[in-house]
Structure 1
Amino acid sequence: MSDQSAALALDALGDPMRRELLVVLRDGALPVGELAARMPIGRPAVSKHLKVLEGAGLVEHRSEGTRNLYALAPAGLVPLQQWLIGLWDTALASFAAHLEQGHRP
């Protein structure tokens, strides 16, 4: 898992509509039409957002007949999670070193 993967995820999640799409998809796979019906934007915009999320590895799609179903990618948030853990661990280590030097919080 690379920092580049985490950066792609962060870039993709920078848009509130994309974050909302992930929230809608957490309950299971849906076709584009149903996703669009739950969003305040049209189907073409939903499709563009899904393409960005898929490019970042956060969603995946499969064809079922004539429908494309989109779902959360099982491992899609792992690079972002690892990046955040690394960031947090570094911050905690810096804080601990600061305290060890006799500084007060």
Structure 2
Amino acid sequence: MLAAILVWLQGRFDQSDVKKGIALALAHRPAGRDGKSVFDALVGFGRGDPRCDGKVVSSLLGDVDVRCVLPGEQGAGYEFRVLLDGKRPPRPANPPAQLLFDQLQR
């Protein structure tokens, strides 16, 4: 019984961490405070709002893998690695995300 409760609690913490990771990834502005956010750039493609999900890579480090896809878009989507401590900004984790960051930094 105790094991089931601990698993349930860990799942709740993981869900909270994923939500925080998604929020941090979408709010990130690779060009700085005056630049566009990742969310603004994804919406700017004109394909609708991104759908994002994630998974906790490490609860201890607060490391979350976030994946966002746009409606009607085929492919891997945009993947980001996010550390929840806020000491380092989210970083791109696949080529489409890297291209997006590169475009936002110009």
TM-score (ref. length: structure 1): 0.24
TM-score (ref. length: structure 2): 0.24
* Higher gyration radius (CA): 1
More strand by share: 2
More helix by share: 1
Q: Which protein, 1 or 2, shows the higher relative CO under an 8 Å CA cutoff with sep ≥ 6?
A: 1
